[in-house]
Structure 1
């Protein structure tokens, strides 16, 4: 084989190796932990009803972030904490078509989609604890179909919630939110919890349940962005858009009027370390985060 043929053979082999490597790299799934908050928002938010349209508050990502693990569901998106056994936050959108006549399915169940080896909180894990299996994304926000309602009963959507907080104060806020949608608005909601130690129906402060596998939060919060029903939602959010931020103590002696616990988005950011509304222009973010709703 002369030198020219050898050189041609070597060059051909190199081209094949390079092409193979490129193809292999294209087929490798992206690790969400390497994506920025805005990149994750682009991946997960599709159109006006994207669950992460307003941003990824904690920069949640892949399995390399076990206490900030991004889980993209059809009807909501969340950041899950493996060690706490609860979501850090859950984000979703409500429009008129999400509200129907489907009855509450009540099918609490473990989330088998968690990574292999992670503890799966069970439907019985809260039994006898004095705390409710408190929804982050409520059953009542997903009544258009049996599938959408059933999806809210995964235990990765639950937090240990003082019964009066869950059944009264929080229920009143959820009902009010849905009344806005029924009156012609659509809303973007982010709900979560932080801290450790709540007071349930048994009295006293409880830090964990389920043999230490589930942390009882000290506080439960929610942020609601309210828009008139329409399209191109992100571009319609301005410094004058209504934002409702609420932060409640996780106690059974709570005031049933959720308005008592209104605060600013900025205060919730300070308590959690998250960055909310990050998809919006900086000037709009700054204005909205300072507001305390008074309607």
Structure 2
């Protein structure tokens, strides 16, 4: 076993005539090696210049165990290595830790096990060539594996001492060949490697030994103590070399002990973060709807619903051509949400006073099946929305969103409504068809995210519209919704997070939410 420490300072005498002993040093990125007491290495002596094989081994000196008392000088424990009596030159190949079950000069390594795995410290030496008389030659060792080290900082003050990190979509099995001094990947590149975690509440270090390789992307799955999972791509393309360390700094938020998830519920890329305060609020419900097609269930949408205000703060859903294919039409199946009592949701069989029934997830986003479309007509998906907004600039934005989703893998959408603003905490109510008070949103929003699967980069944009016939653009100008351009109401997702208090697309890096590029949304 290799441990940290200083250079060896004492020697051991070998009393066997002609027997070789060996010094050792590290040829990698540190200045010296220190070995634990009784550490063993295996050494092969072969004819110089020949490939390691049964026929090239000198006098049967194959995989001979040598041991150190901890000073880095190795002596034989059974049969000693000696130079040939005819003076012919030999090469020495060594490895650590020693194994008496080594076969075919190959060592199988499985890095999916990062604890109690001696091969994580696999060392190899092939520097001693054409030797004839050096009595105590020096074996220069290098590590056969690479190492990934992440320094993780919590940016929101959350305690991340319970955080775990796992590398995924990586190969985990390989074979090290002592003949060529190379590692070969032997398993598909879809394995997982749990990382070793150390550090404090707010700064953690995650380390893992990995097979040397070219990775298309360095992907990490972070799991908070409360079960919240976030998958991120740290680098689109990286090379991990043997005997080398890849180091990266990572900043995260929303994964500390101040947040939680709703037990038993799914959380997808489009799902905003559910905080511990929200999950403990008895008036808030996290609701998911699914539909069946060809014997399989598919997610339709999820929402954060307020049973007191009788409205959803947000509705989150994926959008792609699968969902918009025209297998049915608009069902107009206005009805109660079966996952809520009728008293917890509005009755909106007909329009309410001066407002239209505004969908949060549009009917036209779900033509894949009749069931999927009917679910968009649940009253829980409705809010009282001004006709000039619902039928004009909002409708144009909904159409554009469908267009943006038509030529990409998946567009992740969050549509929402807010009953209060940062400057006004009062809630306005109207009566529904049954006389219940229901909240009237003060503004509506959409947050969008798409991910480039080849690079891992995310592109985001958000929109905000005041309730009414007119709205204030991002430039501060008041315009009529009848002639307004929805792009005039664009803002960054980060800005929308500041306004609403929600964390959108928590699985992507914050840098992707700070700005938006209109050119990506044409």
* TM-score clears 0.5: yes
**Residues of 1 paired with 2:301 and 2:455: CA distance?**
22
Cα pair distance change 1:112/1:267, threshold 3 Å? same
Shift of 1:36: 6.1
| Equivalent pair of 1:193/1:218 in contact (CA under 8 Å) | yes
TM-score (structure 2 length as normaliser): 0.41
Q: Tell me the C-alpha RMSD between the 2 structures.
A: 3.0
Structure 1: runs of 5+ lacking an equivalent = 1-33, 46-50, 198-205
Match of 2:334 among 88, 108, 113: 108
**Residues of 2 paired with 1:67 and 1:190: CA distance?**
21
Shift of 1:248: 0.7
The one-character-per-residue Cα deviations of 1:262-292 (angstroms, maximum 9, x if unpaired) are 0111221111111122122xxx22x122113
| Equivalent pair of 2:447/2:463 in contact (CA under 8 Å) | yes
| Greater Cα radius of gyration, structure 1 or 2 | 2
1:91 aligns with 2:312: no
Cα pair distance change 1:55/1:120, threshold 3 Å? closer
| Equivalent pair of 1:62/1:70 in contact (CA under 8 Å) | no
Higher helix share: 1
Structure 2: runs of 5+ lacking an equivalent = 1-224, 230-259, 291-299, 422-426, 471-479
| Equivalent pair of 1:244/1:292 in contact (CA under 8 Å) | yes
**Residues of 2 paired with 1:190 and 1:265: CA distance?**
11
Higher strand share: 2
| Equivalent pair of 1:35/1:61 in contact (CA under 8 Å) | no
**Residue of structure 2 equivalent to 1:203:** none
**Residues of 1 paired with 2:347 and 2:262: CA distance?**
30
Match of 1:248 among 458, 462, 465: 465
| Equivalent pair of 2:358/2:385 in contact (CA under 8 Å) | yes
The one-character-per-residue Cα deviations of 1:162-185 (angstroms, maximum 9, x if unpaired) are 112111111111111111222344
Structure 1 consecutive aligned stretches of length 4 or more whose deviation exceeds 6 Å: 60-63
Secondary structure, aligned partner of 1:65 = coil
Cα pair distance change 1:167/1:64, threshold 3 Å? same
* Residue correspondence of structure 1 range 136-175 to structure 2 within 5 A: 136-175=360-399
Cα pair distance change 1:262/1:52, threshold 3 Å? same
Match of 2:439 among 198, 211, 215: 215
Greater relative contact order (Cα 8 A, min sep 6): structure 1 or 2? 1
**Residues of 1 paired with 2:429 and 2:309: CA distance?**
9
1:268 aligns with 2:489: no
TM-score (structure 1 length as normaliser): 0.71
Cα pair distance change 1:214/1:95, threshold 3 Å? same
**Residues of 1 paired with 2:283 and 2:263: CA distance?**
22
